[in-house]
Amino acid sequence: MLKVNNIEVVYSDVILVLRGVSLSVESGQIVALLGANGAGKTTTLKAITGLLRTQQGKVTRGSIELEGRRIDRLSPDGIVRLGVAQVFEARRLFSHLTVEENLLTGMLFRPESLRSPAVRNDLEQVYHFFPRLKDLRRRTAGYLSGGEQQMVAIGRALMARPRLMLLDEPSLGLAPLLVQEIFEIIQRINAESGVSMLLVEQNAAVALQIAHHAYVMETGRIVLDGPAGQLMENADIKEFYLGLTQLGERKSYRDVKHYRRRKRWLG
């Protein structure tokens, strides 16, 4: 499905951020990309979606292929048209639009009209995965809770009828219970609609639960990869796990600073 071959990414012509990253996503799989703050996970996704260019970033070496076709020279909307939809880091909804309008922005590139049966059907599909959104559909997106916003962000990507979905830290800032809920839904979407997924996460525990395969990234390089089950047994990863379980037990935990500290488990 997706093949990233040894790419190097440079920002502003001088800041080397990815130093030869290779990974692949097989059709129908969930592949996790794990790593600490600043490892280059989001940059990898931006290289795939073509959004690097708007931020003075460039793929200076290597190639990216989608089903055998090179996409690293295409424009972002061209890549979306090939069936790659993304769920942005920190959700990035159109905060003044309603929930349903936000969902509909995901299909704007498609030829159907807003009120066509196919599009109505896709909306129902989103509401099937996220029943809560149906009641919220006329609400202004900016005022939803973080969890609800994450559901809209995933729903918006679904409206593109993607073959490959890129998810950037869907657990960010959510309470552990909600993280569980969202990840179960992500798994169901993958199982029911067969869409392949590249899932960027810092929360290795939940990501490895639903992923088939995983890569671990550190300062712009892939340092470890393997089937998710195998990685769970890996000693290094277990160490983070320990950290995670300890923190995971404190469910009432609200303090942002601690949250950030937890996020630094790999670095």
Ligand X SMILES: Nc1ncnc2c1ncn2[C@@H]1O[C@H](COP(=O)(O)OP(=O)(O)OP(=O)(O)O)[C@@H](O)[C@H]1O
Binds other proteins (CB under 8 A): choice among 24, 63, 105, 193: 105
Does position 49 interact with other proteins (CB under 8 A)? The reply is yes
Contact 253, 213 (CB under 8 A): no
Residue 112: helix, strand or coil by DSSP?
Answer: coil
Site string for Mg ion, 83-112 (x = CB under 5 A): ------x-----------------------
Q: Round to whole Å and give the CA distance between 34 and 223.
A: 10
Nearer to Mg ion, 42 or 49 (CB): 42
Nearer to other proteins, 55 or 245 (CB): 55
Q: Round to whole Å and give the CA distance between 84 and 154.
A: 13
Does position 18 interact with other proteins (CB under 8 A)? The reply is no
Q: Round to whole Å and give the CA distance between 140 and 94.
A: 9
Nearer to ligand X, 12 or 121 (CB): 12
Site string for ligand X, 21-50 (x = CB under 6 A): --------------x-xxxxxxx-------
Beta-bridged to residue 167, according to DSSP, are 87, 199
Distance set, CA 89 to CA 116, 167, 202, 247 (Å): 30, 8, 12, 23
Chain contacts with other proteins (rule: CB under 8 A): 49, 51, 54, 76-77, 80-81, 85-86, 88, 92, 94-97, 101, 104-106, 108-109, 113-114, 140, 142-143, 146, 156, 160
